[in-house]
Homo-oligomer: A and B are copies of this chain.
Amino acid sequence: MYTTTQYYLALLWATGAYALFPDCTNGPLKNETICNSSASPLDRAKSLVALYTLEEKINATSSGSPGVERLGIPPYQWWSEGLHGIAGPYTNFSDSGEYSYSTSFPQPILMGAAFDDALITEVAKVISTEARAFNNANRTGLDFWTPNINPFRDPRWGRGQETPGEDAYHLSSYVKALIAGLQGDATDPYKRVVATCKHFAGYDMEDWNGNLRYQNDVQISQQDLVEYYLAPFQACVEANVGAFMCSYNALNGVPTCADPYLLQTILREHWGWTNEEQWVTSDCDAIQNVYLPHEWSATREQAVADSLIAGTDLDCGVYMQNHLPGAFAQKLVNETTLDQALVRQYSSLVRLGWFDSASSQPYRQLGWDAVATNASQALARRAATEGIVLLKNDGVLPLDLGSKSVGLFGDWANATTQLLGNYAGEPTYLHGPLYALQAANIKVNYAGGEPGGQGDPTTNRWLNLKPTMDASDVLIYVGGIDNSVEEEGQDRTSLAWTGAQLDVITQLADTGKPVVVVSMGGGQIDSSPIANNPKISALLWAGYPGQDGGSAIVDILTGKAAPAGRLPQTQYPSNYISEVPMTDMGLRPSENNPGRTYKWYNSTPVFEFGFGMHYTNFSAEIAPMNQSYSISDLVSRCPNINSTNLASCAHVSVPVKITNTGHIASDYVALGFLAGNFGPAPQPKKSLVAYQRLFNIAPGASSTAMLNLTLASLVRADEMGNKVLYPGDYSLQIDNGPLTMGNFTLTGSQMTLENWPQPPANRTSAGVSGLEGYFVAGFGSDQEHL
């Protein structure tokens, strides 16, 4: 289903032609509705699709869309990445000079630790601005397949670094801020870019012992789906995100890209994600996986038909392009379904201004001077600084160095690309810890090489350890994990410090000199041996801090900035992974599962979710709260409520006065957890329901956080996934500890506020492929042992 022209166009995309625009002024379409900027996007898109032949329509299902030469529709590459800055594979950086770099922010896991939604919007605005500048230079597309908003359920997940953390409320709040920055305001005549919430849904495992992401069939209860796995995606809908990506895995038996229950019943019907410009793409090449290895559809033709019918509008790959002709020949799908997918695609491009003249669009005027500005670079540094979490401090931090020298150790000490994590583009620069210490005019003795580190722990370079220890007054170890052990396709197999790092660190500690450890990487490492060693003064976690990460670390170490980040994930003890198979998706504790996340983990974490120390102390005071509410009153106060907008109905806004009782000015993140006795057992320990970051509170000064509770804060999901408001005793707790709390009671009868659509009873494959049981996971797989 291709012509020679299309074949060469395919080659053309690969060499970087993305942003050739249709010519609505002089081109063949100039008199068609698609070119009428006063017509509605829906009408415009429909008018274009009506001009396409079936072959042209089929070709347009590919993420590398060949366009239609006879109509002046140029090729378009739908696949751009922008996780923490614009990135490949289809963003084309030049070798040097203009467009050879952009701003590379920290990985989301560290930005999540900032608990600063306004920061996230700012970052996203920079990314979308730089995306537009690159698009105008024909170097990237307008559709960005970010964010990865699956909750970081299991500490082993290699892609957890791409997410803001483990908590569904946190992710929901974060993602709304992010989408606002990427897509722009609803009042904007054009979208900045289109964001894509992925991976919908239940995708959070790369390869746990042979459970490959392409073939996993994850089993998740309706209760866990509603409370946790789907919650951030519902937030995407509330933020009016332009696109969704269905995932590689199957969910409760059905590959997500071929699942009408997920893509139609839940996403479009129940949540109401029905704007004409909202489309679903497959992960690359998840539609092929519907055939193999899922074996959901009996033939390739059935697989593409099943996916299109289920509501997948775009194929990352060419599987639809290759096999829809056969599907049409076999009458497995009709043209109306294909038209609907294309109308969604082209409506979205209309919203991006793709068909309109550049002169009318401010975004189309952006050029190289909008990229990597001084402000953007400062923002990247601030984002890292805000996220860094202080886990231990005996008072040595902030460092008062005077003329003292620093010994620098660890395989992140002179980090370059390590700083970025995965899905990174070309950064403006790469400032690691060694660079930043030297830039701060601190006397540094660098141990060199990689003493400790990943993989092979050969000690051949350890001859430098002792001279460096001897020559230095303060010893700083920067290490942990990196993309060599946590990455796309690779889950971690250990939560312990890797290689010989603990040996090196304890050799530093045994000198008796002050020792500071900076733990790097996205997944938490069990740092109990460091926390429990009285000879180690301080411990920080700094994730993947991006292009200026070394500067951010040094800012914190030296007190130029005060730490206020909070752990966005539980730091479990290393034996956690021997207690629960990664394939067990259950959140609540069970026989083979000690529970997941701070809400349900039934043992003591090394460091808990939300933990983070400061260089000062804070007290908190909650304004007096109403002590009792009637459930029927609460609900009746929201006459316009429907089952999916509970978050829009305020319960109460709680002002929390935070006072800096110490001696150093500092930011403070006010975390509001809801605990109490309401609803059936088991009850979660507590749930984050609100947070706000306060800035630069001076010693002795106060600042007030406003924690807004809504009905969505109060409901719990029952076993069917229905959201229920329960009578009982509620406690709003400020921070871990907590610092203070405010209690209230809900009275009356429980009330179901949202009825969750149940999955169809009989969901069967259209057939199997003759390879039944061939794609087998390893020993200890879910199927075998649970």
Q: Does A512 sit at the interface, judged by CB under 8 A?
A: no
Measured between C-beta atoms, what is the minimum distance from A65 to chain B in Å? 12
Distance to closest chain B CB from A73 (angstroms) = 18
User: A7: which B residues are within 8 A, CB to CB?
Assistant: 463-464, 467
Query: Which residues of chain A in 329-373 are interfacial with respect to chain B, using CB atoms and an 8 Å cutoff?
Result: none
With A578-B778, A780-B780 known as contacts, the answer to whether A493 contacts B209 (CB < 8 A) is yes
Q: B502 to A285, Cβ gap below 8 A?
A: no
Please tell me if the beta carbons of B456 and A493 are within 8 angstroms of each other in the complex: no
Of A388-396, A662-670, A712-720, A767-775, the segment with at least 4 beta carbons within 8 Å of chain B is A767-775
Given contacts A209-B209, A292-B503, contact A574 B460 (CB under 8 A): no
Is there a chain B Cβ closer than 8 Å to A582's Cβ?
yes
How far is B456's CA from A724's CA once the two chains are assembled, in angstroms?
41
A209 to B156, CA, bound (A): 11
Known: A460-B64, A781-B578. A775 touches B285 (CB 8 A): no
Partner of A321, one of B322, B463, B778: B463
From known contacts A291-B503, A778-B209, infer whether A771 and B529 are also in contact, taking CB-CB under 8 Å.
yes
Q: A459-B288, A784-B578 are in contact. Are A493 and B778 (CB under 8 A)?
A: yes
A487-530 interface with B by 8 A CB criterion: 489, 493-496, 499-500, 502-503, 507, 526, 528-529
Q: Which residues of B contact A316 (CB under 8 A)?
A: 458, 460
The answer to whether A214 touches B457, judged by C-beta atoms less than 8 angstroms apart, is: yes
Q: For chain A, residues 460 to 496, give those with C-beta under 8 angstroms from any C-beta of chain B.
A: 460, 462-467, 489, 493-496
Residues from chain B with a CB closer than 8 A to the CB of A32 are none
Q: How far is the CA of A274 from the CA of B565 in the complex (A)?
A: 61
Most B CB contacts (10 A, CB to CB) among A456, A495, A507, A780 go to A780
- A784 and B464 CA atoms in complex are apart in Å by 39
Among A752-783, those with CB < 8 Å from B are 771, 773-781, 783
- CB < 8 Å neighbour of A578 from B319, B577, B578, B777: B777
Encoded as 1 (CB less than 8 Å from any B CB) or 0, chain A from 75 to 87 comes to: 0000000000000
Q: How far is the CB of A141 from chain B (nearest CB, A)?
A: 14
Decide if A575 is an interface residue (CB 8 Å cutoff): yes
- Contact partners of A571 in chain B: CB under 8 A: none
A284 in contact (CB, < 8 A): yes
The answer to whether residues A776 and B318 also contact, given A207-B493, A284-B458 and a CB cut-off of 8 A, is: no
Which residues on B sit within 8 Å (CB–CB) of A495? 776
Chain B nearest CB, measured from A434 CB (Å) = 19
CA separation between A781 and B576, bound complex, in Å? 13
Q: Is A45 an interface residue (CB 8 A)?
A: no
Q: Is A579 an interface residue (CB 8 A)?
A: yes
- CA of A183 to CA of B482 in the docked complex: distance in angstroms? 41
Measured CA separation A214–B2 after assembly (Å): 53
Residues of chain B lying within 8 A (CB to CB) of residue A249: none
Residue in B210, B526, B783 whose beta carbon sits within 8 Å of that of A774 in the complex: B526
Instruction: Point out the residue from B285, B456, B582 that lies within 8 Å of A284, measured CB to CB.
Output: B456
Residue of B nearest to A584 (CB): B779
Within 8 A of B (CB), among A538-592: 574-575, 577-582
User: Smallest Cβ distance from A479 to chain B, in angstroms?
Assistant: 14
**Interface assignment of A216: CB less than 8 Å from any CB of chain B:** no
Residue of B nearest to A466 (CB): B322
For the complex formed, measure the closest distance between the CB of A298 and the CB atoms of chain B, giving whole angstroms: 13
A575→B779 contact, CB < 8 A? no
A27 beta carbon closer than 8 Å to chain B = no
Contact A776 B575 (CB under 8 A): yes
CA distance A318 to B496 in the complex (A): 24
Which chain B residues border A493 with CB–CB below 8 Å? Answer: 207, 209-212, 778
Size bracket, chain A contacts? 35 or more
Q: Are A318 and B463 in contact (CB under 8 A)?
A: yes
When distances are taken between beta carbons in the complex, the residues of chain B under 8 Å from A2 are 463, 466
Instruction: Decide: A780 and B459 in contact? CB cutoff 8 A.
Output: no
Q: Are A494 and B776 in contact (CB under 8 A)?
A: yes
Bound complex: CA of A489 vs CA of B10, how far in Å?
38
CA separation between A526 and B775, bound complex, in Å? Answer: 10
Copies of this chain assembled into the complex? 2
Q: Does A63 contact B (CB under 8 A)?
A: yes
**B776 contacts A574, C-beta separation under 8 Å:** yes
Q: Is A317 an interface residue (CB 8 A)?
A: yes
A471 to chain B, nearest CB (A): 13
Residue of B nearest to A1 (CB): B466
Question: Which chain B residues lie closer than 8 Å to A285 at the CB level?
Answer: 456-460, 500
Give the residue among A6, A10, A500 with the most B Cβ atoms within 10 A: A500
In contact, A775 and B292 (Cβ under 8 angstroms): no
User: Which residues of the other chain, B, contact A529 by a CB distance below 8 angstroms?
Assistant: 771, 774
Of the residues B284, B466, B467, B579, contact of A779 by C-beta under 8 Å: B579
Chain B residues within an 8 Å CB radius of A63: 460
Contact between chains at B458 and A496 (CB < 8 Å):
no
- How many angstroms from the CA of A317 to the CA of B465 in the assembled complex? 13
Nearest-neighbor residue (CB-CB) of A533 within chain B: B770
C-alpha gap A6/B502 in the complex (Å): 26
Q: Which of B212, B300, B502, B579 contacts A771 (CB 8 A)?
A: B502
Contact (Cβ within 8 A) A457 B209: no
CB of A288 within 8 A of CB of B457, answer yes
Q: Which chain B residue shows the least CB distance to A289? A: B457
A211→B529 CA distance, assembly (Å) = 20
Residue from A6, A465, A578, A580 having most chain B Cβ neighbours under 10 A: A578
**Interfacial chain B residues near A317, Cβ < 8 Å:** 458-460, 462
Q: How far is the CB of A296 from chain B (nearest CB, A)?
A: 13
Please tell me if the beta carbons of B582 and A779 are within 8 angstroms of each other in the complex: yes
A window 1-22: CB within 8 A of B: 2, 6-7, 10
- Please measure, in the bound complex, the distance between the C-alpha atom of A212 and the C-alpha atom of B457, giving whole angstroms: 12
Assess whether B319 is in contact with A462, with CB atoms less than 8 Å apart.
yes
Q: Is A748 among interface residues, defined by CB-CB distance under 8 A?
A: no
Name the 4 nearest CB pairs between A and B, nearest first: A780-B780, A317-B459, A210-B493, A284-B458
CB<8 Å pairs between A and B, sample of 10: A63-B460, A64-B460, A291-B503, A317-B462, A319-B459, A321-B463, A322-B462, A578-B778, A778-B780, A780-B785
Residues of chain A touching chain B, judged by Cβ–Cβ distance below 8 Å, are 2, 6-7, 10, 63-64, 156, 207-212, 214, 284-285, 288-289, 291-293, 300, 316-319, 321-322, 455-460, 462-467, 489, 493-496, 499-500, 502-503, 507, 526, 528-529, 574-575, 577-582, 771, 773-781, 783-785
Q: A289-B457, A456-B489 are in contact. List 7 more A-B contacts (CB 8 A).
A: A209-B780, A210-B578, A300-B503, A493-B778, A494-B776, A575-B773, A578-B779
